[in-house]
């Protein structure tokens, strides 16, 4: 059962979502240092979401259709804002002046507003039973396994994005990559919104 759980973690985390795509986008747009701070925020945020799922707080909050709709709208708005920042980073032309690079707070906020984070954590923490009579031990083991898989997978996305930045591509090429990363993230946002609303 633990091996099956680990495989499920791997498959659920490796599929592109707002977290990994925005991480690669921040790396490509701003470089490794900014992306690493954002990575730390995503790590903290995903564990906060998992904690909310495990304690039942997420279920309590998301039980209200009004709150669910408000959170979905806030999530979409924030992801659009973040996508715009990635798309316009390093661009001389743009309607948004990028004042600062995304950091730890941005990563935490993204995960708290990320619908995929709740779906994945709910599936993982409620769908697999290791120890029927030792819930706390099971939850702690799940946290260890999830983080042991989450961390290197996200670090690979961070590394890949920052490598694009290190290539010192022509400004036009870098802009195209930033826009592509932002559009990919928007595609995932659209899918998440569609599946949540239907």
CA dist., res. 13 & res. 20, Å (int): 9
Buried b / exposed e over 122-143, threshold 16 CB at 10 Å, is: bebbeebeeeeeeeeebbeebb
Closest alpha carbon to 115 in 15, 17, 1, 14: 17
Amino acid 193: pLDDT: 62
**Contact yes or no for 189/79 (Cβ under 8 A):** yes
**Contact yes or no for 47/143 (Cβ under 8 A):** yes
pLDDT tens-digit series, residues 81-116: 877 777 776 544 333 444 567 889 999 998 998 877
Asked if pLDDT for residue 196 goes beyond 80, the answer is no
Place of tokens 């890949």: 160
Furthest CA-CA distance within the chain:
60
Task: Provide mean pLDDT across the span 132-138.
Answer: 88
CA dist., res. 57 & res. 163, Å (int): 39
pTM: 0.80
pLDDT tens-digit series, residues 46-77: 999 999 999 998 888 878 888 878 877 887 78
């Amino acid at each position: 059962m633990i091996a099956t759980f680990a495989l499920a973690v791997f498959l659920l985390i490796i599929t592109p979502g707002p977290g990994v795509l925005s991480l690669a986008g921040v790396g490509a747009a701003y470089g490794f240092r900014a992306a690493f701070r954002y990575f730390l925020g995503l790590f903290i945020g995903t564990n906060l979401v998992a904690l909310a799922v495990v304690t039942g707080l997420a279920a309590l909050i998301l039980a209200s259709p009004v709150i669910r709709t408000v959170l979905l709208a806030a999530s979409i708005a924030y992801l659009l804002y973040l996508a715009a920042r990635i798309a316009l980073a390093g661009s001389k032309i743009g309607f948004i002046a990028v004042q600062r690079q995304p950091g730890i707070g941005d990563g935490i906020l993204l995960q708290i507003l990320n619908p995929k984070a709740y779906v994945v954590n709910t599936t993982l923490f409620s769908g697999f039973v290791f120890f029927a009579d030792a819930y706390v031990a099971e939850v702690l083991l799940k946290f260890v396994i999830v983080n042991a898989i989450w961390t290197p997978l996200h670090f690979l996305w961070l590394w890949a994005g920052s490598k694009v930045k290190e290539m010192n591509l022509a400004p036009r090429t870098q802009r195209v990559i930033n826009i592509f990363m932002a559009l990919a993230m928007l595609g995932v946002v659209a899918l998440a919104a569609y599946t949540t609303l239907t």
